[in-house]
Amino acid sequence: MQLRNIAIIAHVDHGKTTLVDRLLQQSGAFRENQRVAERVMDSNDLERERGITILAKATSVVWKDTRINIVDTPGHADFGGEVERILNMVDGAIVLVDAAEGPMPQTKFVVGKALKIGLRPIVAINKVDKPDARPDEVVNEVFDLFAALDATDEQLDFPILYGSAKEGWMATSPVAPAAQSDRSMAPLFDLVLSHVAPPAVEDGPFRLLGTILEANPYLGRIITGRITSGTLRPNQAIKVLARDGSLVEHGRVSRILAFRGIERTAIDLAEAGDIVAIAGLSRGTVADTFCDPAVETPLIAQPIDPPTVSMTFRVNDSPLAGTEGDKVTSRVIRDRLFKEAEGNVALKVEETPDADAFVVSGRGELQLAILIETMRREGFELGVSRPRVVVKRDEATGQLLEPIEEVVIDVDEEFAGVVVQKLSERKADMVDMRPSGGSRQRIVFHAPTRGLIGYQGELLTDTRGTAIMNRLFHSYAPYRGEIPGRRNGVLISTEAGEAVAYALWNLEDRGPMMIEPGCKVYPGMIVGEHTRDNDLEVNVLKGKKLTNIRTTSKDEAVRLTPPIRMTLERSLAWIDDDELVEVTPKSIRLRKAVLDPNERKKAERARAAGTAA
C-alpha cells in the first residue's frame, strides 16, 4: 500500500481538529453506528475543557488504496516545541487559514519552519461560511506571508482549496457546491495524493528519529516517529543514539503500534516511510535515533527554540499543606517534573541549592499553567512563583538580552488608543497598524515578554472583552529597562481560622476581597487587594460584638460584594515577586513567600538596601 505523511498546521481555533474529524468520518475510519466524540483527537481532559490542542497526535485514513498518516498539531505558540519535531516526520503540510482572520502569528511561525525544511504546502481556506469571510483577500495575505518567509518558487506555487470543516466540504472555489451530495472532503484527499510526495526512503538498516514520547501504564515508554530506512519487527534488538552520537541504551522492541483510524493496532512488520509507535526501551527519548546495532551515525534532529519564561515550583509549606493533596514531598514533585521534561522538549527543569525548589522554564505562561493544572489534578500540592523571563548575556559585548515577542491585537477602533498607550508603557514598539474589516484594527507590536505577563486581563478590561491578542516569540534583544508592575498592595491575614462574614464586610472599604465567609485562612495568606500601594495586615476572623440591644440599625444584614475569582492563570500573572500561588487539588490560594510578619519586614528592608546599593 502506498503512503503519504502530512501535518495539519494552523493558528489556534482555525479548525484543525474539526477538519481531522471530517477526514476520519468521510474516509470510513468510523463504523456508521459508532459513537464518536466531537473533536475526537482532543483526548486530554484539559484539551476538551479549553477547546485547544495541547499535544500533537497522529492518526491515519485510507483513501483510494493509499494510507494517509495525518498529524494534528497544537496551535498555541507555547506548545511550538511539539510542532517543530512533527515536521520532521511528514512530507507535506496542509496550512489551514481562517477565511475571516487570515494568517495569524502561529501560522507564520509554523509555516516558516515547514518552508525551511522544504515542505510543499497545500493552503486550505476554512470557515468560508462565516458572514465576515474574505477568502480572496486572505489568499493574497497567505502569498505575501510565504514570500516574506523566503519560500521558493515551487513553494509559492501552492494549490488552494476553500471550504468549511464544520459543514464537511472542500472545493476549488469559495462557493459551496449546490448539490448536497457533492459536498465532501474528496477534493482535499485527491490533492494530498497528487501534490504530496511519497515518503523518501533511504537505503540501509533500521533507523527512526524519536518525535513524540508518552508513558503507558502497561507498555512503559512509547516513542512515535517515522522509519527513515529498513524494517522493524517485534523482539528485534536495537540501540538508541543521542544527538551527539553517544550511546543511550541497548534493548529490544516489545511492541510495534501503527495508527489505523483513531485506534493504534499492534503489527508484525513496520516498513520504511511509515509512522509507528514502539515500546520496550526504558531511556530513549525525543530527538534520539532508534536504530539497528550496526548504525553509528544518528539522524539530524531539528534544533528547538529556547524557553523564554521560568517559574519556581516549591514544596507547599503553608499551615494547610497536606490537607487537600496526597503528593506533597520534594521527591515526588522532582520525579514528576523530570518525567514531564523528558517528553516535552520545550520544557527545561533545573534543581536549585534549596532541595525543596525547582526552576521550570518553558515557552510561555500558558504552557506552564497547563503543567500546573495537570499536576494539581493528579493530587500534587505546590507553591509556584510569579513567571520570570529567561534573560541572557551577549557573549561578544556583555550586553543583557531579553526575549521579545511579536504581539498581534485585533481590537475595535474606539479602543485602539488605550491599547497603544498601555503597551507603550510596557516598553512595546508598534510596528504595524491597519484595518482588519468591520471597523476593527489589527495592531502589531514587538514587546518584551516581561511587559506581557499579566496584560491579558488588563486588555480585556480596557476593551470590554472585545480584543483578541496573539503572541509569538520573535528574538532576543537588548534589555529595555524597568517596567512598572502591579500598582496596588495586598490585604494579608494575621490570624488562622475560618473567615467571618462580618469581618469581610467591615474590610470592604480597604479593597476587594478574594475569599468568601468560611474560607480557611492562615497568617501571611493574601485575602484581598488593597486600594493603596502598600500591604495591609487585617484580621478576617473578627466577629461582631454580642450585646443585648436589639435595634433595626444594629441588626442590619451583612451584604457582601462577591469576591474576585482568581483562576490559576490570573493568579500567576497578578502576584508580585515576593508572593506565591499555593496550588492544591481543591484550592488556589495566594500568599506571601515569607509568612512570618517579622521575617517579612526583615526581607523587605534587605531588598530595599540591595536596590539602593
- pLDDT tens digits along 191-200: 989 998 888 8
Which residue would you say has higher pLDDT here, 551 or 37? 551
Q: Are residues 133 and 226 in the same domain?
A: no
Is 595 among the domain residues?
yes
Say what the pLDDT of residue 304 is: 60
Q: In what helix (H) or strand (E) does residue 70 lie, and over which residues does it extend?
A: strand 66-72
Is 325 among the domain residues?
no
Pairing of strands 263-266, 255-260: antiparallel
Is 555 among the domain residues?
yes
Is 301 among the domain residues?
no
Beta bridge partners of 315: 382
Was 544 annotated as part of a binding site? no
Boundary (domain end) residue, out of 244, 259, 291: 291
Q: Are residues 42 and 154 in the same domain?
A: yes
Task: Read off the pLDDT of each residue in 28-52 and give the average, rounded to a whole number.
Answer: 43
Boundary (domain end) residue, out of 166, 195, 224: 195
User: Quick check: 238 pLDDT over 80?
Assistant: yes
User: Quick check: 38 pLDDT over 80?
Assistant: no
CATH code of residue 283: 2.40.30.10
- pLDDT tens digits along 360-419: 998 777 778 888 988 998 899 999 998 888 888 888 888 899 889 888 888 888 899 999
Q: Are residues 503 and 578 in the same domain?
A: yes
Say what the pLDDT of residue 313 is: 93
- pLDDT tens digits along 469-479: 877 778 889 98
Is 548 among the domain residues?
yes
Say what the pLDDT of residue 165 is: 85
Phi-psi region of 186 (alpha: psi -120 to 50; beta: other; left: phi over 0): alpha
d(CA 144, CA 165) in angstroms, rounded, equals 24
Boundary (domain end) residue, out of 478, 511, 540: 478
Q: Are residues 49 and 123 in the same domain?
A: yes
Sign (positive or negative) of CA dihedral 159, 165, 171, 173 = negative
Is 357 among the domain residues?
no
Q: Are residues 444 and 525 in the same domain?
A: no
**What are the residue ranges of helices labelled H in 463-596?**
501-506, 568-574
CATH code of residue 182: 3.40.50.300
Was 488 annotated as part of a binding site? no
> Domain total for the chain?
4
Was 312 annotated as part of a binding site? no
Q: Are residues 413 and 554 in the same domain?
A: no
Phi-psi region of 55 (alpha: psi -120 to 50; beta: other; left: phi over 0): beta
- pLDDT tens digits along 262-306: 677 889 998 888 888 898 888 887 778 899 999 888 888 765 667
* CA of residue 302 relative to chain centroid, distance: 20
- pLDDT tens digits along 579-592: 999 999 999 999 99
Is 449 among the domain residues?
yes
User: Which of 53-62, 323-332, 336-345, 432-441 comes out lowest in average pLDDT?
Assistant: 53-62
Q: Are residues 471 and 502 in the same domain?
A: no
For residue 176, the enclosing domain spans 2-195
Was 128 annotated as part of a binding site? yes
Q: Are residues 495 and 446 in the same domain?
A: no
Was 15 annotated as part of a binding site? yes
**What are the residue ranges of helices labelled H in 88-170?**
105-116, 135-148, 153-156
pLDDT band at 547 (very low <50, low <70, confident <90, very high): low
Q: Are residues 144 and 272 in the same domain?
A: no
Sign (positive or negative) of CA dihedral 494, 498, 500, 504 = positive
Was 554 annotated as part of a binding site? no
Q: Are residues 452 and 494 in the same domain?
A: no
Question: Which has the closest alpha carbon to 305: 403, 452, 407, 398?
Answer: 403
Was 506 annotated as part of a binding site? no
Q: Are residues 154 and 66 in the same domain?
A: yes
Is 299 among the domain residues?
no
Q: Are residues 595 and 529 in the same domain?
A: yes
Was 542 annotated as part of a binding site? no
Was 14 annotated as part of a binding site? yes
CATH code of residue 462: 3.30.70.240
d(CA 393, CA 401) in angstroms, rounded, equals 6
Was 33 annotated as part of a binding site? no
